[in-house]
């Protein structure tokens, strides 16, 4: 059976690079699942969970803050601003990041900084909700 070479890359570092048998993505129009030999695709990603079925039948779950995905010739590349494996989430770090973001939000920010801070706050809340479930 064919596999998909999957790479998930954030602005600062590679997050994931492995062979998978299926990948479910949070696109801006809803979830889609990519299987080997899927038609070529370029799509915008929403904030959400990426579910990966590894070639060895294991599974992995990643959280992304949105971005883009491209698929061709059984290679899937996800580019995201921020992302983390769900098993690497640490509740205390998330709560500290939320606290810092809320404190920054109360200070004088220009509109561009405020938009970035709102995105960061939304992603931290998303991570916290997953940790709390």
Question: Would you state the pLDDT for residue 15?
Answer: 95
DSSP state of 39: P
Residues 8 and 45 in one domain: yes
Q: Read off the pLDDT band of 73 (50, 70, 90).
A: very high
Residues 63 and 8 in one domain: yes
Per-residue model confidence as pLDDT tens digits over 55-72: 999 999 999 999 999 999
The three-state secondary structure class of 75 is: strand
- Give the burial class of 78: count Cβ atoms within 10 A of its Cβ; 0-12 exposed, 13-18 middle, 19 or more buried: buried
DSSP state of 86: G
Residues 57 and 103 in one domain: no
Residues 104 and 80 in one domain: no
Q: Read off the pLDDT band of 1 (50, 70, 90).
A: low
Question: What percentage of the chain exceeds 90 in pLDDT?
Answer: 61
* Structure-block tokens of residue 20: 């998978």
Residues 14 and 79 in one domain: yes
Count how many Cα atoms sit within 13 Å of the Cα of residue 61 in the half-sphere of its side chain.
9
Q: 71 Cβ partners below 8 Å, 6+ apart? A: 4, 34, 38, 40, 41, 42, 77
Residues 70 and 18 in one domain: yes
Higher pLDDT, 91 or 20: 20
Residues 69 and 113 in one domain: no
| Number of folded domains that form the chain | 2
Residues 21 and 8 in one domain: yes
CA neighbor of 43 nearest in space, from 74, 16, 79: 79
Residues 47 and 101 in one domain: no
Q: Read off the pLDDT band of 132 (50, 70, 90).
A: confident
Other beta carbons within 10 Å of 110: 7
Per-residue model confidence as pLDDT tens digits over 105-121: 777 778 888 788 788 88
Question: What percentage of the chain exceeds 70 in pLDDT?
Answer: 99
**pTM attached to this predicted model:** 0.84
Residues 57 and 97 in one domain: no
Print the domain residue range for 99.
Answer: 89-132
Helical spans, DSSP H, in 1-133? 91-105, 111-132
Is the pLDDT at 12 greater than 70? The verdict is yes
Residues 17 and 81 in one domain: yes
């Amino acid at each position: 059976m064919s596999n998909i070479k999957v790479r998930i890359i954030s602005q600062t570092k590679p997050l994931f690079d492995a062979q998978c048998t299926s990948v479910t993505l949070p696109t801006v129009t809803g979830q889609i699942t990519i299987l080997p030999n899927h038609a070529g695709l370029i799509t915008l990603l929403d904030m959400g969970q990426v579910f990966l079925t590894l070639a060895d039948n294991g599974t992995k779950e990643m959280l992304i803050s949105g971005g883009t995905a491209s698929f061709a010739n059984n290679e899937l590349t996800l580019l995201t601003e921020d992302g983390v494996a769900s098993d690497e989430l640490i509740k205390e770090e998330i709560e500290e990041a939320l606290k810092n973001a809320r404190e920054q939000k109360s200070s004088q920010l220009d509109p561009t900084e405020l938009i970035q801070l709102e995105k960061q706050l939304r992603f931290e809340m998303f991570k916290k909700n997953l940790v709390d479930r």
